[in-house]
Amino acid sequence: MSNLIPTSQVARSDARIARPEPIFFDDTRHHFKAIAGFDVGKAAEGFRSPLSVILQITRRCNFNCSFCSEIVQLPDPTMEELDLMREHLQGVQCVFLSGGEPLLRKDFVEIAEMFSRDFIVGLPTNATAGKALA
């Protein structure tokens, strides 16, 4: 069983909630879990890609938190740049579309749709811009 590792095919299946073995993204969609008796350390030696990636789709934010390290305001990646990043993430199961505040992007829905075709998508957000999307 130690030679079995998660693949992007598992993440792209129609039954995303179903638990692919031996490592799966749990029901809360916040953590990876392994089936009982599976040696995660040994399996990790064979991973060719990370289980999840945090992708910063913007550095813009509508807060001014004193603890934030985002002081350099770079331009947002274009859709073409994001699509290239998506292509290079094959094998990853989960992509967190992060920021700054990712919901500030006017094209956020298109970005989420692009990534949700291949990955489980997570969204860390301060939710201040969520009302506009609702």
Q: CB count, 10 Å around CB of 38? A: 16
> Roughly what angle, to the nearest 10 degrees, separates helices 79-88 and 108-116?
20
Q: What local confidence, expressed as pLDDT, does residue 5 receive?
A: 39
The pLDDT-based confidence of 89 (bands split at 50, 70, 90) is very high
Cα gap 132→95, rounded to integer Å = 23
Question: What angle is formed at CA 65 by the lines to CA 111 and CA 85, rounded to 5 degrees?
Answer: 25
Q: What local confidence, expressed as pLDDT, does residue 112 receive?
A: 96
